[in-house]
């Protein structure tokens, strides 16, 4: 037979039930507060990541990470569309953070080095990872005939803007400006005395310029890592006797042309407007390069 609980037992049962109820309520309140804090922190992380991305990355990679930023048109290597595969790196936070910090050598992707705090770096990387999870676009880009000719030769067409100013000087100390070539179409060849690919193709560039004689076409061989024009000329003569080289005396102009890898080439039309650019050594005797220069001269 089950005996009835006495008053003392009832008091203990009620007290235990009350304590349990209080524990449950407190637990729910703490959990709710913790969830609210976590949600708030997550929202702040996303907001901070978006802000950093728009300020540091969107001009090239585009507001939604599609590689269509306002600066992308003037780049030889189009910025990555984060939604497309494959990537050259793993698609995870650590890999993204590494690229943000170190950049990608040989491209226009700079590294921030120590420019971001660890929380900001995490926020930015998280936002890029979010953009990488988007559905890839289904639109196939159609190029014009001139764009395709440029792409086949390894060039990208540029917006027709005034070419940045260059203050050039030859081994005799003569000052030369781009405006001195108004009416003539030119290719600016940025090279360096420490660049073996640059030195190797100098003979080919001399032959190229000669093959287009009489067509108002000139090549300006601008050395970027030697300030003394005579010294640069002596080095060039060892690889291509008779070639004429120049140096940029101000140092500012090179930044305007975004010279971050050598050799680099810019094509400027007879009105002093930018036409196309490229980076890296070329087979200047190839049909693709020939067709591109012909299209440049006939434009």
Give yes or no for a contact between 82 and 101, defined as CB atoms under 8 angstroms apart: no
Quote the pLDDT of residue 46.
64
CA 21 to chain centre: 59
In the sheet that holds 264-268, the strands lie side by side as 156-157, 274-279, 264-268, 185-191, 217-223, 245-248, 168-169, 175-176
Helix ranges restricted to H, the chain: 7-56, 58-61, 93-102, 118-132, 145-152, 196-200, 202-211, 229-239, 252-256, 287-298
Domain ranges of the chain: 8-141, 145-298
Beta 168-169 vs 274-279: how paired, if at all?
A: unpaired
Contacts of 238 (CB under 8 A, 6+ apart): 199
Q: Which has the closest alpha carbon to 180: 195, 202, 165?
A: 165
Query: What per-residue confidence (pLDDT) applies to 209?
Result: 92
Report d(CA 53, CA 48) in Å as an integer.
Answer: 9
Which pLDDT belongs to residue 32? 44
Q: How far apart are CA 218 and CA 187, in angstroms?
A: 6
Per-residue pLDDT tens digits for 276-294: 998 888 999 999 999 999 9
- Cis bond leading into 263, ω under 30°? yes
Model pLDDT for residues 147-168, shown as the tens digit of each residue: 889 888 889 888 888 998 898 9
Burial 279-295 (b: 16+ CB within 10 A, else e): bebbebeeebbeebbeb
Check whether the bond before 86 is cis (ω within 30° of 0).
yes
Q: Are residues 127 and 118 in contact, defined by beta-carbon separation less than 8 angstroms? A: no
Return the closest-CA partner of residue 86 out of 141, 131, 132, 152.
Answer: 132
Task: State the virtual CA torsion across 26, 28, 33, 35 in degrees, nearest 10.
Answer: 150
- Nearest in space to 48 (alpha carbons), one of 128, 110, 113: 128
Q: What are phi and psi of 246, to 5 degrees?
A: -135, 165
pLDDT one-digit tens code per residue, 249-277: 776 777 788 887 889 999 999 999 999 99
CATH of domain 8-141: 1.10.760.10
pTM: 0.59
* 37 vs 163: CA distance, rounded Å: 53
Residues of the chain where predicted confidence (pLDDT) is lower than 70 = 1-46, 73-77, 106, 138-143, 251
CATH class of 145-298: alpha beta
């Amino acid at each position: 037979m089950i005996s009835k609980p006495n008053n003392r037992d009832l008091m203990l049962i009620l007290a235990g039930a009350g304590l349990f109820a209080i524990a449950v309520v407190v637990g729910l309140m703490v959990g709710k507060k913790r969830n609210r804090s976590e949600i708030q922190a997550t929202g702040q992380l996303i907001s901070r990541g978006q802000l950093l991305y728009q300020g540091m990355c969107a001009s090239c990679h585009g507001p939604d990470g599609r590689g269509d930023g306002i600066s992308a048109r003037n780049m030889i290597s189009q910025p990555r569309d984060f939604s497309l595969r494959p990537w050259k790196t793993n698609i995870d936070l650590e890999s993204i953070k590494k690229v943000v910090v170190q950049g990608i050598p040989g491209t226009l992707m700079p590294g921030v080095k120590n420019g971001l705090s660890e929380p900001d770096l995490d926020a930015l990387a998280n936002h890029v990872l979010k953009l990488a999870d988007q559905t890839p676009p289904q639109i196939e880009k159609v190029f014009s005939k001139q764009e395709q000719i440029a792409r086949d030769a390894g060039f990208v067409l540029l917006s027709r803007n005034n070419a940045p100013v260059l203050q050039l000087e030859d081994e005799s100390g003569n000052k030369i400006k781009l405006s001195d070539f108004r009416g003539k179409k030119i290719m600016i060849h940025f090279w360096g005395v420490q660049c073996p690919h640059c030195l190797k193709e100098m003979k080919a560039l001399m032959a190229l310029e000669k093959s287009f004689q009489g067509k108002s076409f000139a090549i300006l061989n601008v050395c970027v890592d030697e300030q003394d024009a005579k010294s640069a000329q002596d080095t060039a003569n060892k690889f291509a006797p008779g070639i004429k080289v120049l140096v940029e005396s101000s140092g500012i102009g090179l930044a305007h042309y975004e010279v971050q890898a050598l050799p680099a080439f810019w094509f400027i039309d007879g009105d002093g407007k930018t036409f196309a650019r490229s980076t890296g050594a070329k087979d200047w005797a190839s049909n693709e390069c020939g067709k591109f220069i012909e299209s440049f001269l006939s434009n």
